[in-house]
């Protein structure tokens, strides 16, 4: 489903707490399952010694292909990622419907297209012990603790998407 421009503008604001000091993220990783969305976010967590329960990436950063060494690190940590298509500016119905199972299983998801908006599917599917982390370019990492209010907001955005 195509995410309307008005919703994408709203998504430029963090959906959770922005962190530039990663010690809090390390603390949270001890008591929560971590879902990382984004290549650089995932690589940053791995560099801190945090292996996400589920990592979502597309081998791109700011629409440019990652350096081979960075891709190799992802491949070493996540041997057999599940593969899904998700075109830029969209949220795939397949990802939306399969997010709960992917969360249960863990591992990695390699997106053909763009992974940014897939965070919405994982926020909706997340349980109280899950945290979704994604990068905010040039600012840090956003830590999202999904709650009913945020899930309702996302559901509303997705209803708008279905209408457009």
**Domain locations in the chain as residue ranges:** 1-79+87-110
Q: Residues 120, 4: contact at Cβ < 8 Å?
A: no
* pTM of the complete model: 0.93
Residue 6 confidence (pLDDT): 86
d(CA 18, CA 140): 6
Q: DSSP string covering 103-145, please?
A: HHH-EEEEEEE--TTHHHHHHHH--TTEEEEEEETTTEEEEE-
CA distance 67 to 89: 24
Q: What is the pLDDT of residues 22-79, one digit of tens each?
A: 788 989 999 999 999 999 999 999 999 999 999 999 998 877 899 999 999 999 999 9
For range 88-97, the mean pLDDT? 94
User: Which long-range contacts (C-beta less than 8 Å, at least 24 apart) are formed by 147-150?
Assistant: 150/15, 150/123
Write the DSSP assignment of 5-67 as a string of letters: HHHHHHTTS-SSEEESSTHHHHHHHTTSEEEEESHHHHHHHHHTT---SEEEE-SEETTEEPP
Check whether 163 has a pLDDT greater than 90.
no
The region of weakest confidence among 4-13, 48-57, 73-82, 111-120 is 4-13
Bridge partner residues of 36 (DSSP): 55, 133
CA distance 63 to 120: 19
The pLDDT of residue 164 is above 80: no
Phi/psi of residue 37, nearest 5 degrees: -120, 115
């Amino acid at each position: 489903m195509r995410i309307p421009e008005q919703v994408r503008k709203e998504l430029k604001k963090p959906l959770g707490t922005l962190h530039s000091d990663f010690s809090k993220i390390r603390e949270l990783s001890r008591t929560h399952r971590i879902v990382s969305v984004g290549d650089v976010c995932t690589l940053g967590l791995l560099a801190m010694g945090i292996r996400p329960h589920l990592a979502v990436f597309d081998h791109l950063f700011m629409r440019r292909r990652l350096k081979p060494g960075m891709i190799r690190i992802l491949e070493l940590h996540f041997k057999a990622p599940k593969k899904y298509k998700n075109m830029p500016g969209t949220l795939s119905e397949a990802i939306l419907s399969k997010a709960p199972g992917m969360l249960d299983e863990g591992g990695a998801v390699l997106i053909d297209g763009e992974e940014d908006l897939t965070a919405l599917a994982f926020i909706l599917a997340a349980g109280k012990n899950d945290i979704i982390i994604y990068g905010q370019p040039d600012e840090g990492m956003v830590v999202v603790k999904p709650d009913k209010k945020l899930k309702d907001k996302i559901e509303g955005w997705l209803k708008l998407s279905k209408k457009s």
